[in-house]
Structures are given as structure tokens and as C-alpha cells.
Structure 1
Amino acid sequence: MGGEKRKAEKARLRKGINVLISTPGRLVDHIKNTLSIAFSAVRWLILDEADRTLDLGFEKDLTVILNALNATGLARQNVLLSATLTEGLSRLASISMKEPVSIHVSEDSEDTDEACPQAAPQALSDSYVVPERLQQHVVVVPSKLHLVCLAAFILDKCKFEQRQKLIVFISSCEAVEFLLTLFTAVLCVKPSTTSTKQTSTSLNFYRLHGNMRQEERTEVFQEFSVCKTGILLCTDVAARGLDLPQVTWIVQYNPSVSAAEYVHRVGRTARIGAQGSSLLFLAPSETAFVDVLANHNIRCRSAAAFEQEVRDRATVLQTDFENYVHANNKSLQTAKSALQSFLRAYTTYPSSLKHIFHIRSLHLGHAAKSFGLRDAPQGLGSSITTNPANSKDSKKGKDKAKRYCTFSEVGQ
């Protein structure tokens, strides 16, 4: 339940169900307004993505849900599931569990699984585990080359190779829409003006973000799940809770706000023993983020060879992008809005990472180039300090009304 009409959900509840999957807010809505809902037969309560539940502002909703379940007086098993152990997970366990047992599961074998009563997540939160068959890479290029670098990578993997599925994480809804329009217009139309390789596969772009209706998101999810080759441009709406089959590459075009969120993003590939790869984009001023990841046992290899290949293609690709953006006023304004949304999202990095990701460290002219603009628009300084536009991606986190559509999961 959640994201659909309440009337249809009430009808299903009246008929009776065995398994109920719901967002916290919608379940509270039914507890308060649907007479037919009853919890007398509930034996299991499972909270997925438990590490983020309290951070996303659902503490009051969870209290209502737990009180409604506890009112039955029947024994029940509560389960909290998370890929990362955080302080938020410890808080949630104290709210919803009695004498909790922490179970840590590894890919290797049952010998590495362990169950320990009263485990302290804080003690384990410094080190994260990523899939063993995941190859992690980082590319360090100036901001002005980020756009052409991403385009060249997409062309290399999806147009000149078979069965490649990419998920590209982007910091804002507007930037997702802009890149979808730009790549569809420029990369899909011109066969191969930037390479001597023979093209063998058409490019299929998809987009997923919190400003889309639930029906649209469901349709995109289904289409991308069954496609053999494709590129999904998305915000962190796709970072958690989605099982997208046969994803070969995770591209973090905009870095995550924490090592934990990095882990959730790359967790979309190399699933259930499969192989997968990830690529992290960083500007030269952001390279210290590699050390932040290393402090959490996350190691990324340099993709220096790819950097040189991109530089060779940069001039032609950048010219194509700029010509498209400046072709008419509509595309120009779209690019400017996307740039502004990126800059606002950049200001939302936590204080612990401000020494790496600070708006003052950005070269605005170079950032403009990464949106196909020839020069930085006037008035950017004031635009990034104003309140962001109202979007679902902006309403996550401890202050849901003020955060911009940045790096949290959407549409719960």
C-alpha cells in the first residue's frame, strides 16, 4: 500500500490478505480511517531499510503502527533489515524490539554468519561490506569534462558492447530530466561520429525520480527489468529496495552523501553471486572522498586509461551538446534549471563532508560546461541559497520540507 488510491486498498483489506507491504504513512492512514483493518492474526513485522526509517522522519508513524500491533496482546516477531549498521538502526531496535539479536550475514559461507545478542551497531558501523564480485572504479576529471565523460562511457558500454545495463545516479530530478532529453537527442540520433567502432546496439534511456507519478515509476521499473541493454538515469529513488536484474554497471555521476549510501547504490549490481562493476565520478577537489570510503573498507581502483580516452573524445561531444542546448530558448532554460538544481543539491552534503564537497570549491564555469552551457549563467550565487522547488525527492531526511531533491530514497 502506498502510491495508489485508498479506495482500492480498502477493498483489498476487506477481502483479507496474507501479506501486507506498505509505506509507514499509508499504513497509519488506514489504521486511523479504515474500520476493516485488523491485526489480530499478525505474527511478523518486517521493517526493510531499517537504517533510514527514522532518518526519513517516520518515528511517529512507527509508534502508531507498533501501538496498534501491540494492542492485540499477541506474540509477534519483529525483524529489522539493513545493508548497513548505523546509529539510527540501534535507535529503531530500542523502540521496536525486546532483547534483540543481531544477525550478520556474509556472502561467503555459513561459517561467516554470526548471531550476537545485544550487538551494538555503532561498534560495527565503521566498516561496510560490498559484494565480493563487485569491481569498483573511480574516475577523476574536471567538472567541465563530466558530461562528456559520462556520454563516452555510455557509448562505450551500451552502444559498442552487448548486454550492458547501467544505472546512473544523479543528484536531482531536474538533472535527470535534462540528461535524458540531452542524451536521447544527441547520442541516439547520430550513429558514430565520435568513434571508429561499428555500432551494434541502439541506446535505450529510462528515467526514475520522485517527481514522477507512481504509475510512471512502476512502468519504468518493469521495462528496465526486462530489457537486455539500457541506461537508467535516476535519483536515489533506485538506491534501495529495488531488485533490477542483470545490472552490469553502477555509475555515481554525483557522489553519495555518505559511505553508507554509496554501499546501497553499488548494491544494485553484483547481486546473488553475479559479477558487477561501479564507477564513481569525482572532480579533482573531491578526491579526498576516496579516503572517506577507504576508512569504511571500501576500495576503488583508478580508471586512468578511461580518463585519457574521454579527453580524446571531449571536443566533439562537448560541441554537440552545446549546440543542442543553445539551439533554442527552451533547451537553454532547461539546462540552466538543471544546473541550479545540481548546485542546490551540492549544498546539502553533511557537515562531515563539507571539507570535500563545498559549493565554494566548485568552478561555476566548469560546472556550467557539464550541462552543455558555454558560460555560467548570471545570478547563480543567489539561486543556490533560495528555497528549492517542491519535489518529492526534496522531502526526505530529518527536515523533509527543506532538503533539496538530493540523495535519499523517494516515493515510499
Structure 2
Amino acid sequence: MADDGILLNLQLPTSTKQVAVSNSQNLPKGKWTQRLKAKRAALRTVKRQNKTTDNTIDEASKPKRNSRGSNSNGIYVERIRNLKRSSEGGGAGDVGDSYSPANAGSSRLFSSNGQSSTNKSQVISSLFTSSYPISEPTAAPAEVLAEHDPSNAPLVDDTSFKGVGINSTLAHFVQTKLHFEHPTAIQLTAIPPFIATNPRDLFIQAQTGSGKTLAYVLPIIHSLMSCPDKLSRDSGLFAIIIAPTRELANQIYSVLETLVGCCHYIVPGIVIGGERKKSEKARLRKGVNILVSTPGRLADHLDNTEALHLSAVRWVVLDEGDRMTELGFQETITKILSRLERSSRIRTHPIRGLPNRRVTVLCSATLREDVEKLGEQSLSNALHINAGNSTDGDVEPKTGESAEGEVSDNAFSAPDQLHQEFIVVPMKLRMVSLMASVINIIKENPNARIMIFLSCSDSVNFHFSMFTRESDEAAPDSDDEDIKPKGSEEKTSLPSQVLKTYLKLSSPIVHKLHGSLNQPVRKATLAAFAKVASSASVLLCTDVASRGLDLPAISHVIEFDPPFAKEDHLHRVGRTARAGNSGWSTIFVLPGKEEGYVTDVLTPLHKSALVKRECSAVLSSAFGGKLVWQDQATNAQLNVERWILQSETTLQQAKSAFTNHVRAYTTHLSSERDYFSFRELHLGHLAKSFGLRETPTTLGRQNMAAGDDSKKRRGHDQGPDYAKKRMIKAAQMHANVGADEFNLG
């Protein structure tokens, strides 16, 4: 009480904000902007002075935490330590080792200028919350899978290649060197009309893995071997085989190289994008009898290589016709066929035993409207052939119909012996569920060969780096110069140290393949993955590896990202269960509408219903079983998140993968857009599946990887027509030039 009897009721400021307000009388007069700047400067000064006081935490105010280091709200709080290691050493600790509720609202790690902000706490959302309740897996009885006879296996009767008319020397070579005792159904049906005296144009339709390549390669070599005139490389070019992708072209050329071992005077050749044109021109000048090519590179040589003469061509094969149309090669094919038509009018010395006219063969696993249009442009009076059926009429059969007008079972389906399953995975759990699936497969089969399909090349790069990183060692300091993430493009394969932690076995070899890699790396990757190794192998890839490739002994296909069309799904799963062998495939879908996609779209493509597996069962089997699997899955997720935050390069790689995955998600066909709605994506949870603790602020401008054509990609929202044209252009560049594209590989 003062002397004058007045009671003083004063309260000292207890926070920095109150101090700043109490000092408001010292602010300069004038414009409000000047007063605001002065007030903020005073606030910063007080904060520096009271830093120790402001950071003091009352132990009694801490919320209760469970065994996994999370509070009652399912939020993990972890202090992100200074990326530059101190002299005492040490990296990011376990969950909650530096809990700071005072700063629980702070979640930004990098400031606007890209520099890391240190000594801040970051909110980390939990994998297992009430939003996505995951219960303990129940011990349900094992489901008996329906077994079906293989639909693409070689015949088991007395039919042989010699019996269908193939040259005895060539048939014996196929039996001894390729170990094919009997032809498949499509080979039995296609070879006789192909080697007839006056063959017609052919449309060959069959399931993936049924032997379409030998169905047209064997008749061509048989006809050349049967010529009375002696042939050599100087005799001319007799056959052209056009494939949509470089990988498929290389595979066809490899088959040709093997088969001509019984007739060395027949010379095959190959010209594809990504190779040196000078070397290809020299090869053409020396002379080839059978040429394998991609459409763009062949059209380029037709315009610029004088040594390429087409007057003697008697066979033109268009392999994977549906893929040709998807990539927008119709105009290029029309140009090539027109050039061949003009060249055929030039009189040359005829080769006895060869057809008098050019025979065109179109091969496709599907028979869509655009494929029929391509057939109308390239075929004349064609014979439609599928396994067990052929048509003799001049009228082109409609989609899915045989000559008699009945629906063909082979028109559009997966191999009967394929075991297909789907896993409904909440968005947050996608990353750990992928790890768990790979771990479970390798546990059951230590020599498993797994293909994992992702939506874009940036996602392939990120997951490759994640799988091949050192799991127990910290990443380099962000201040180090010339940091290169693990999995840089000069490395085609590395062992997975992350999976070894849970497998307790020799680590599997991980490969990656997409269209942004240069041609030598793509070729080396396929060669390395095709080798049958003593340990498990994993190939992370885009749809560039989905068509036509005959990779040996693929035991399992994982569609981590759903296909962009049901045709893509058939080709993806067609990498396994080939030539009568068994195979497994798994597709990841999100809860809700994507489950309807499995029921409405995918189930009709399979003879057996798709088997649903619980996400909890997959995680429990991989991460330690009952009671501990949630902890182990959380630790695996947090290890990836810490690894990403230890390097700015890795962080940008994760952001680019997230950004381009979102873009790819919007490119699903309009007929399937109801199942894949971009508006219903929870971008924060999706970022979690890429190891990001917060969603990138801009989808597609600041977070693009170096070298990407970001300006062109910003036009994605300009309508479906724009997107379609851009996709076709990117795919054409991929198939012939090797440019970077975000969707088709």
C-alpha cells in the first residue's frame, strides 16, 4: 500500500510477448509499418535475453507417452538435431529422446531459403492412429487357392516343331539349345499359315508369356534356310521386326542371335535409340538379313542412311501393337509402311523360295479399337489368329470375338495359373508395407526374383536409394561437397542393407530400371537382373519393363502403384507365370474406392478371384509377430525419415518422388477416374509414405529434380487433351531418344 492509501495492483510481464507490449510506449511515432518493425525488433531482443527461461520445461506438464514414444494423441515429437555433427558426435536418437512440448507446434525443418533450421522440435505423425485403426492379425485358417491348368504352357502331346513344318535342323536346334520340346498353342496355330506357299497377312493375338516371339521368328528363319539360293549378308534385307521399346528390341535380337547359330550365313542386326548412329550405319553398310528396330530410329535411318535398301523386304513384323498405339507411333508406322510400299515396286532379282509379296504380321496381347485401326492401316486380307482359333474371312473380327462370332476366352485375360492377391493399405503404411511384402517373399523363397512396378522414374530412384542405403550408418553431412545419393545412375545394382536387418540372411541385390537412364545402364541392368543368382533379386521399375520382356524365373510381381489402365495390369503381371510356370502377383490399393477397382476392373481379367490379405498380417509376419510388430514398423519408418533429413540431396529426391507420383496419379484413364480421385488423396499421409514429415508446399515448381523439364509439366492441369498429347510426346521421346518422362518409364 502506498503512502496515499492507494492499492497498487501491478503484474510483471512473464512472457516475451507481454514484454514487447509493455515496451510499446518506447516505440517511435509515425507510420504503423515503422512501429511494427520496431516492435518486432524489441521482441527479438527479449527472446534472445530470455532464451534459457523460455526453453525451460516443467516435467509435470509432459503428457503421458506409450511404449512407442507417442503421446495420447498419437503424435510423435522428436527433436531434429543439428545436421552438422558436433565435436561430441552422435546423430538423431530414438523416438522421443528430446521431447519438447513447448515447441510441439513447430514442424518446419527447412526455412524458405532451403537452409536447415536447427534446435527445433518437429511433430511426427504416428503410423497407427484412430484414423486408420489396425488391429492385431487374426489367426484365420489358410485359404486353399484354386489351381488351374496353365493357359500358356507348351503342349504336352506328341506335337513337335518339326511336326508343324519347321526345318528339321532348326527344330533340333530349338530342342537342344533352347530346351523347348513342344510348341505352345499360339505357335502351333500361327506357324503353319506363316510358312505356307502364299502366306497372308497375320494378326497374332495371345496372352503374355505364350511364345509370340518364336511364333514369327521361327517361320522367318525357316523360310530363309529353305531357299535354294545360297544367302549371305550381301543378299539383302528380307525381314524387319519393329518393337515399341529398346528393351524388347534387344530381347528379340538376342533370340535371333541364338537361333542363327544353326545357320551362320543369316545375319541379324539391330538399330535402336540411345546407340551411336555412326556404328549403326556401318552395320547396315556391311549388310543384314533380319533387322530389329524401334519405330523412331528406323524412320530416321530411312531418311538419312543410303545403305538401307528395302526392295528385298518380304516380312514386316509389328510386335506389341497395343503398346505401339499407346506410345503414339501410328504416324511413324504409316510412314515406314508407305516407304516399304514404294520400295517394293523397284524390280530386283527375286530370291527363290521367298514369298512373292510382302507379308505383314501384327502381334498384340489385346485387341482394342486403336489396335484394330492400326491393323486396318497395315494389314490386307489378314488372317486373325489366337490360341486354338483362326479366321478365314476377309472381315476383320471385332474385339474379343472369334470367326464364328463367339467370345474368345483368350481375348483379354491373365494366365490361368497366376495367383493374384491384393492388399488394402492405408496411405501412411505404404512404405513399411512394401518393405514387409519383400521381406515375407524372400523369407519363403531365399532365391526369389521380384519385380516392383512404380508410377514414375523419380519414385524408382527414391525407393532404390532407400533400399540400398546403409541402415546402421548416418548419411554424410549436408555441408559436404559433391554429395551423391546412393543409387546414382552409374550404379546398376547394390545389396539391400535395410532388408538384411530383418531377413537375417544375405541381403538381396536391388536393381532399378526406367526410361530416364541412359541406354548402356538400362542394358546392363537387364543383363544383371536376368542372371540367375544364388540370392534374391529385386527390380524396381516403371512400365518400361512391363511389355514383352521375357525375364527368367520371375517369382513375384508387386504393383506398388496401380496401373494406369487394365491393359497395363495384364502386361505387368505377365512378367511372371510365363510358359506354363506358376507365379504370384500383388497389388497395393488404398481403402475405399480403390477396393472397388479390384472388384469391378481386375477380377474379370482373372480366372480366379483375387485373394485379399490383411495389411496387419503382412506387417506382423515381417516385423516380429504379435505385440512388437507395430513398434518395429514404426522404427523402420523413422529410420527412413531420419536418413532423409540428414542430407538435403536425399530430401529433394524424396520430394521429387512425391511430386511426380501425385502427377502420375492424375493420369489414370477417364473411365477409371472414379476409382482414383486426386481430390480424395490425403497429401500429408501420402508424404509420410515417402518418408517426408510434412507435405512439400509446391507440387511441381520448387521441388522438381535437377534436369527435369518443369515448365512443360506445369501445364498438366490444362485439360485431358493437353495431358494426352504431352504423355504421347514424352513416351515417343523415351522410346527413341531416352528423354526423361515421369510416367511411362
Superposed CA deviations along residues 13-70 of structure 1, whole A, max 9, x for unmatched, are 1111121000111111111111111112211110011012133121221122111211
Q: Aligned residue for 1:104?
A: 386
Q: Aligned residue for 2:545?
A: 238
Q: Aligned residue for 2:619?
A: 310
Superposed CA deviations along residues 301-329 of structure 1, whole A, max 9, x for unmatched, are 23424542316352222122212112222
Counterpart secondary structure, 1:242? coil
- The TM-score, its normalising length taken from structure 1, stands at 0.88
User: Kindly, what percent of the aligned residue pairs are identical?
Assistant: 37
Q: Are residue 328 (structure 1) and residue 328 (structure 2) matched? A: no
Could you tell me how far apart the structure 2 residues matched to 1:87 and 1:338 are? 34
- Give the 3 Å change call, closer, same or farther, for CA 150–378 of structure 1 in structure 2: same
Answer yes or no: is the 8 Å Cα contact 1:388–1:402 preserved in 2: no
Answer yes or no: is the 8 Å Cα contact 1:186–1:324 preserved in 2: no
Answer yes or no: is the 8 Å Cα contact 2:513–2:545 preserved in 1: yes
Q: Aligned residue for 1:78?
A: 360
Could you tell me how far apart the structure 2 residues matched to 1:13 and 1:239 are? 30
Superposed CA deviations along residues 250-274 of structure 1, whole A, max 9, x for unmatched, are 1101111111110011111111111
Q: Are residue 138 (structure 1) and residue 138 (structure 2) matched? A: no
Could you tell me how far apart the structure 2 residues matched to 1:381 and 1:29 are? 34
Counterpart secondary structure, 2:562? coil
Q: Are residue 379 (structure 1) and residue 698 (structure 2) matched? A: yes
Correspondences of 1:174-323 after superposition (within 5 Å): 174-185=458-469, 188-190=496-498, 194=502, 199-228=504-533, 229-285=536-592, 286-290=594-598, 291-297=600-606, 299-305=608-614, 307-310=616-619, 312=629, 313-323=632-642
> Aligned-pair RMSD on alpha carbons?
2.7
- Give the 3 Å change call, closer, same or farther, for CA 115–397 of structure 1 in structure 2: farther
Could you tell me how far apart the structure 2 residues matched to 1:318 and 1:44 are? 55
Q: Aligned residue for 1:109?
A: none
Q: CA deviation at 1:397?
A: 6.1
Q: Aligned residue for 2:249?
A: none
Counterpart secondary structure, 2:291? coil
Give 2:295's match in structure 1, choosing from 20, 24, 35.
24
Answer yes or no: is the 8 Å Cα contact 1:55–1:397 preserved in 2: no
Report the number of matched residues. Answer: 396
Q: Aligned residue for 1:108?
A: none
Q: CA deviation at 1:387?
A: 4.1
Q: Aligned residue for 2:670?
A: 351
Counterpart secondary structure, 1:156? helix
Counterpart secondary structure, 1:379? coil
- Give the 3 Å change call, closer, same or farther, for CA 116–201 of structure 1 in structure 2: farther
Answer yes or no: is the 8 Å Cα contact 1:186–1:321 preserved in 2: no
Q: Are residue 2 (structure 1) and residue 279 (structure 2) matched? A: no
Equivalent residue letter for 1:202:
S
Answer yes or no: is the 8 Å Cα contact 2:423–2:612 preserved in 1: yes
Could you tell me how far apart the structure 2 residues matched to 1:218 and 1:396 are? 30
- Higher mean alpha-carbon deviation, 210-219 vs 286-295, is at 286-295
- Give the 3 Å change call, closer, same or farther, for CA 167–47 of structure 1 in structure 2: same
Counterpart secondary structure, 2:316? strand
Q: Are residue 155 (structure 1) and residue 426 (structure 2) matched? A: no
Name structure 1 gaps, 5 residues minimum: 106-111
Could you tell me how far apart the structure 2 residues matched to 1:322 and 1:151 are? 14
Could you tell me how far apart the structure 2 residues matched to 1:192 and 1:201 are? 6
Q: Are residue 388 (structure 1) and residue 713 (structure 2) matched? A: yes
Answer yes or no: is the 8 Å Cα contact 2:510–2:539 preserved in 1: yes
Equivalent residue letter for 1:320:
N
Q: Which has the larger radius of gyration?
A: 2
Superposed CA deviations along residues 202-241 of structure 1, whole A, max 9, x for unmatched, are 2210000010001110000000000432000001010012
- Give the 3 Å change call, closer, same or farther, for CA 171–77 of structure 1 in structure 2: same
Superposed CA deviations along residues 112-139 of structure 1, whole A, max 9, x for unmatched, are 3444543434345996221122111111
Answer yes or no: is the 8 Å Cα contact 1:56–1:396 preserved in 2: no
Could you tell me how far apart the structure 2 residues matched to 1:308 and 1:180 are? 25
Counterpart secondary structure, 1:41? coil
Answer yes or no: is the 8 Å Cα contact 2:423–2:614 preserved in 1: no
Q: Are residue 45 (structure 1) and residue 319 (structure 2) matched? A: no
- Higher mean alpha-carbon deviation, 63-72 vs 274-283, is at 63-72
Counterpart secondary structure, 1:102? strand
Answer yes or no: is the 8 Å Cα contact 2:434–2:560 preserved in 1: yes
Could you tell me how far apart the structure 2 residues matched to 1:341 and 1:60 are? 29
Equivalent residue letter for 1:157:
I
Q: Aligned residue for 1:340?
A: 659
Could you tell me how far apart the structure 1 residues matched to 2:711 and 2:604 are? 34
- Higher mean alpha-carbon deviation, 358-367 vs 305-314, is at 305-314
- The TM-score, its normalising length taken from structure 2, stands at 0.50
Equivalent residue letter for 2:277:
R
Could you tell me how far apart the structure 2 residues matched to 1:84 and 1:22 are? 22
- Give the 3 Å change call, closer, same or farther, for CA 397–19 of structure 1 in structure 2: farther
Equivalent residue letter for 2:446:
Q
Name structure 2 gaps, 5 residues minimum: 1-270, 346-355, 402-407, 472-495, 621-628, 704-709, 716-721, 732-739
- Give the 3 Å change call, closer, same or farther, for CA 366–168 of structure 1 in structure 2: same
Q: Aligned residue for 1:363?
A: 682
Counterpart secondary structure, 1:378? coil
Could you tell me how far apart the structure 2 residues matched to 1:401 and 1:340 are? 20
Equivalent residue letter for 1:147:
M
Q: Aligned residue for 1:171?
A: 455
Superposed CA deviations along residues 363-400 of structure 1, whole A, max 9, x for unmatched, are 1111111101122222348889974389xxxx996543
- Give the 3 Å change call, closer, same or farther, for CA 144–154 of structure 1 in structure 2: same
- Higher mean alpha-carbon deviation, 151-160 vs 269-278, is at 151-160
Could you tell me how far apart the structure 2 residues matched to 1:53 and 1:295 are? 25
Equivalent residue letter for 2:571:
H
Counterpart secondary structure, 1:20? strand
Could you tell me how far apart the structure 2 residues matched to 1:381 and 1:27 are? 35
